A and B are shown apart, each in its own frame.
Chain A
């Protein structure tokens, strides 16, 4: 049967879903509606290689327009501002109306905004999309002293890139450690040391009281009355799922769009995937919302299968990475449910990993090391987690013993 399948949000989850639907369904119409006037592209390089000029705009696209044409996937640059789930219709600002039989919502997430009492909105920069990355790149080229508000992944990656561009960088974080929400403090401290060694200043436990503009530069007043002078401000204080459009509808929301393990929402024929969805993970037996490249890809693919009628559970073990200076940090599984922590390695040059175990099985792990040094072990950890294996703690804690031994059996 020929269906009208509409994908709302032309990012990573959206494009992977579209291609997966086509793999399983050669007949239906597939249309992606995206408000960015760009084909779906990779966001991770925006804070890293794109700022460093190691990657250009054309390197970021997942696929060329030819691939979409060959697979008969339509992409329309349009912003949707109203949904009618009852009549299965989407409405755009320009009065266009789109009808669907099945809908995938993959609207991603958006940056939290700093609340300021004065009118400095246009002076403060955020990074989520290519347009913002281009603007930041252009403006910082003639700025020297840059302040980043928020010591999360994106803020720290920008801090690393700008430091490599010979800028003086200050990071102000409200919490008592960097990347606080999901990274163990021991790992965060190793990353912090690397920033400091490269000349970045890291200020923890401080809140912004006020920002004032002075002769084109800025003064930031902190809650301990200290003043920071800076000529450019970037804010990275976390993000929220893009769900405003659905707030007055029947769609069940709770920290994103609530979905089951099949990417199905509370409304029939409406699916959600990627950053925007708070999904049920059958392995961890709980809901979670992830903002990661691997998740956007795999969740998109899983949604695509389910939309095409191939009923598929989403069981992917979470994984994400961050690259800062010559470090590669990786996180797998979940690190907040454990009864035991095991450490592997002591030296960042060979990689340091913390494993989080519950009932002698790994639930998650977080590691950091010079590029290349933790990836293999973290990958093996994901496999061990997925297989729910009771692990030999001696092998886990001794870097001289290969972890491969644990999965070969």
Chain B
């Protein structure tokens, strides 16, 4: 695991609990979430249509797309409710000195 793959997203207090922030890196968009047990990251665009999940609703471990209510599990990326049927990609997250990093492949 090379160090360069970890990208700094921001400080841990930049996200409220049970909420998310959008993070753009190069030409990709990610969502970084703060859940009760830690930080998680997924692709930032819904797999159903090209809609940003940053405007979606975080409830427990799930993110619900603001467009057609497709639901994904934030931790596994699994598509839980139609019309979303393709899983969402997830990324490893670590916290170092109150800073959040995600590992982008």
Q: B103: CB under 8 A from chain A?
A: no
**Stretch in B4-12, B24-32, B35-43, B59-67 with 4+ CB within 8 Å of A:** B59-67
**Stretch in B49-57, B72-80, B93-101 with 4+ CB within 8 Å of A:** B49-57
Which residue from chain B places its CB closest to the CB of A294 in the assembled complex? B69
Q: A42-B83, A297-B82, A379-B57 are in contact. Are A374 and B69 (CB under 8 A)?
A: no
Q: A372: CB under 8 A from chain B?
A: yes
User: CB distance B55 to A376 under 8 Å?
Assistant: yes
Q: Which residues of B contact A319 (CB under 8 A)?
A: 69
Q: A279: CB under 8 A from chain B?
A: no
User: CB distance A62 to B65 under 8 Å?
Assistant: no
Q: Which residues of B contact A321 (CB under 8 A)?
A: 67-68
User: CB distance A374 to B82 under 8 Å?
Assistant: no
Interface size on B, residues (CB 8 A): 17
Which residue from chain A places its CB closest to the CB of B64 in the assembled complex? A379
How far apart are the CA atoms of A303 and B74 in the complex, in Å? 30
User: CB distance B49 to A49 under 8 Å?
Assistant: yes
Q: Give, as a whole number of angstroms, the nearest-CB distance from B84 to chain A.
A: 12
Give the residue of A297, A328, A380 whose beta carbon is less than 8 angstroms from that of B67.
A328
Q: Which residues of B contact A371 (CB under 8 A)?
A: 51, 67
- Highest count of chain A CB atoms <10 Å: which of B18, B52, B64, B67: B67
User: CB distance A375 to B82 under 8 Å?
Assistant: no
Q: Which residues of B contact A372 (CB under 8 A)?
A: 51-52, 54-55, 66-67
User: CB distance A376 to B82 under 8 Å?
Assistant: no
User: Which residues of chain A (18-36) have a CB below 8 Å from chain B?
Assistant: none
How far apart are the CA atoms of A328 and B69 in the complex, in Å? 12
How far apart are the CA atoms of A376 and B83 in the complex, in Å? 16
How far apart are the CA atoms of A62 and B18 in the complex, in Å? 31
Q: Give, as a whole number of angstroms, the nearest-CB distance from B67 to chain A.
A: 6
Q: A153: CB under 8 A from chain B?
A: no
User: CB distance A376 to B69 under 8 Å?
Assistant: no
Q: Give, as a whole number of angstroms, the nearest-CB distance from B15 to chain A.
A: 13
User: Which residues of chain A (217-248) have a CB below 8 Å from chain B?
Assistant: none
Q: A49-B49, A293-B83, A297-B82 are in contact. Are A376 and B67 (CB under 8 A)?
A: no
Q: Which residues of A contact B82 (CB under 8 A)?
A: 62, 297
Q: Which residues of A contact B56 (CB under 8 A)?
A: 375-376
Q: Which residues of B contact A294 (CB under 8 A)?
A: 69
Q: Give, as a whole number of angstroms, the nearest-CB distance from B70 to chain A.
A: 10
Q: A213: CB under 8 A from chain B?
A: no
Q: Which residues of A contact B69 (CB under 8 A)?
A: 294, 319, 375, 379
How far apart are the CA atoms of A222 and B54 in the complex, in Å? 47
Which residue from chain B places its CB closest to the CB of A48 in the assembled complex? B49
Q: Which residues of B contact A293 (CB under 8 A)?
A: 68, 83
Identify 15 residue pairs between A and B in the complex whose beta-carbon atoms are under 8 Å apart, listed by A's number: A42-B83, A321-B68, A371-B51, A371-B67, A372-B54, A372-B67, A375-B55, A375-B65, A375-B67, A379-B57, A379-B64, A379-B66, A379-B69, A380-B57, A404-B57
Report, nearest first, the 10 A-B pairs whose CB atoms are least far apart.
Answer: A375-B66, A372-B55, A376-B57, A372-B66, A379-B57, A376-B66, A372-B51, A372-B52, A376-B55, A328-B67
A375-B66, A379-B64 given. 9 additional CB < 8 A pairs?
A297-B82, A319-B69, A328-B67, A373-B66, A375-B64, A375-B67, A376-B56, A376-B64, A408-B18
